[in-house]
Amino acid sequence: MSSYNILLDVKNLKKYFPVRKGVLRRVVAHVKAVDDIDMYIKEGETLGLVGESGCGKTTTGRTILRLIEPTAGEVRFRSKKLAGQGEEYKEVDVATASRKTLKALRRDMQVIFQDPYSSLNPRMTVGAIVGEPLLVHRVAKGRERENRVRELLGAVGLKPDHMKRYPHEFSGGQRQRIGVARALALDPQLIIADEPVSALDVSIQAQVLNMLEDLQEEFSLTYLFIAHDLSVVKHISDRVAVMYLGKIVELCKTEELFTNPKHPYTEALMSAVPVPDPDYNVERILLEGDVPSPVNPPSGCYFHPRCRYAKDTCKTEAPVYRDLGNEHFATCHFADSLSLRPVRTG
């Protein structure tokens, strides 16, 4: 048997947004933002979720947390805080959990947002922002709460006297640290980080990435790390899921993805990343056209209009997401037979 615990197990998760038109606001179509995805996250690992703008990364994160209601699917979570006497954990389906259970679950599952500017209330002091979850969940108050906030600020590399200041007095990187301190307040098991470093300059980005790695170790955290920057995802993740038009097209161990990709989209994505070396002149695989609309995705394999390996079957038959062995999942008819170009190494 496996030597790890699965903390979060997502099955057949769907989120369709209605598209309304006309005076009657009739539903004329659906945006299939998350279109039947399966994935699991192991305790203590970082699962990276990568893909281009609009492919459904944020919606996946928010649906898992049930900040938005899923259209269908299961989100099984092993909660420590909900565990009864003598139990190590209690398994809950977040997708169908009651309001009360959901509130308790919030303590276990936290989120960090992309935008360090708009995600913090400008009228609250840093102390109040970081301490708010403690108040809402009645975990600590008064002196105890203040001490906890001090501790949290210390953990993310800020000073205790920063408590009395307001968000606008901080730089982007520092604001992101405040957001992280807040997410840590309730001692969560899982943190969903939605593009936590995308808005930061590279030198600051590196500081925040290192901090997230340190905190993971210190507090035994599990991360779902959402980003569009493949280099960042590669750096931080143990396993990576690649999304395209609401579907996971490939999911496997990080090193495996970069050395032995099985999906043509992954290959193209890796090839497109600009390499910081002027002597690097391997020809890029250029994808033609734009990402199609999730309202009206192509027939068969969603990737077929841009895929250079597409055959006739790809136009009519949708490939299924399947395990190719060794926990390497891919959604392509020819995943076993294609020989794709790995990322450049050395």
Ligand X SMILES: Nc1ncnc2c1ncn2[C@@H]1O[C@H](COP(=O)(O)OP(=O)(O)OP(=O)(O)O)[C@@H](O)[C@H]1O
Determine, following the binding rule CB under 6 A, whether residue 188 of this chain makes contact with ligand SF4.
no
State the binding partner of 56 from ligand X, Mg ion, ligand SF4, none, CB within 5 to 8 A by kind.
ligand X
From 175, 76, 70, 43, select the one nearest 117 (Cα to Cα). Answer: 175
By CB under 6 A, name the one of 81, 228, 235, 253 that touches ligand X.
228
Determine, following the binding rule CB under 6 A, whether residue 248 of this chain makes contact with ligand SF4.
no
Determine, following the binding rule CB under 8 A, whether residue 169 of this chain makes contact with another protein.
no
Binding region for another protein (CB under 8 A) out of 135-143, 159-167, 182-190, 278-286: 278-286
Backbone angles phi, psi at 24, to 5 degrees: -85, 0
**Residue 74's beta-bridge partner residues?**
11
Helices (DSSP H) in 220-251: which residue ranges? 230-236
- The residue count for binding ligand SF4 (CB under 6 A) is 12
Q: Which two tokens stand for residue 291?
A: 């990402």
Total residue count of the chain as it appears in this document: 346
Distance (Å, whole) CA 14 – CA 33: 8
| Three-class HEC string of 68-96 | CCCCEEEEEEEECCCCCCCCCCEEEEHHH
Sheet order of strands, 72-79 included: 26-42, 6-21, 72-79, 90-93
Residues 51-70 that bind another protein (CB under 8 A): 52-53
* Cβ(203)–Cβ(171) below 8 Å: no
State the binding partner of 314 from ligand X, another protein, ligand SF4, none, CB within 5 to 8 A by kind.
ligand SF4
Minimum Å distance from CB 241 to ligand X?
A: 12
* Binding-residue pattern over the window 54 to 83 for ligand X, x denoting contact by CB under 6 A: xxxxxx------------------------
Minimum Å distance from CB 240 to ligand SF4?
A: 17
By CB under 8 A, name the one of 167, 173, 179, 246 that touches another protein.
173
By CB under 8 A, name the one of 69, 88, 277, 312 that touches another protein.
277
Element (H, E) at 195: none
By CB under 8 A, name the one of 259, 296, 299, 316 that touches another protein.
259
- Is residue 345 classed as helix, strand or coil in its secondary structure? coil
- Report the helix count and the strand count for the chain, using DSSP H and E: 10, 12
Q: Which is nearer to ligand SF4, 206 or 318 (CB)?
A: 318
Determine, following the binding rule CB under 6 A, whether residue 262 of this chain makes contact with ligand SF4.
no
Helices (DSSP H) in 90-141: which residue ranges? 99-106, 126-136
Q: Which is nearer to ligand SF4, 102 or 338 (CB)?
A: 338
By CB under 6 A, name the one of 145, 239, 304, 328 that touches ligand SF4.
304
State the binding partner of 303 from Mg ion, ligand X, ligand SF4, none, CB within 5 to 8 A by kind.
ligand SF4
Distance (Å, whole) CA 52 – CA 306: 14
Report DSSP letters for 294-344, one per residue: TTSPPSSSTTGGG-TT--HHHHH-PPPPEE-STT-EE--TTTTT-------
Distance (Å, whole) CA 196 – CA 206: 11
* Binding-residue pattern over the window 289 to 308 for another protein, x denoting contact by CB under 8 A: xxx-----------------
Determine, following the binding rule CB under 6 A, whether residue 309 of this chain makes contact with ligand SF4.
yes
Q: Which two tokens stand for residue 180?
A: 């992280």
Q: Which is nearer to ligand X, 33 or 310 (CB)?
A: 33
Binding residues vs ligand X (CB under 6 A)? 17, 31, 33, 51, 53-59, 228, 294
Binding residues vs another protein (CB under 8 A)? 52-53, 171, 173-174, 201-207, 209-210, 213, 228, 230-232, 234-236, 255, 258-259, 268-280, 284, 286-287, 289-291, 343-346
Binding residues vs ligand SF4 (CB under 6 A)? 264, 301, 303-304, 307, 309-310, 314, 319, 332-334
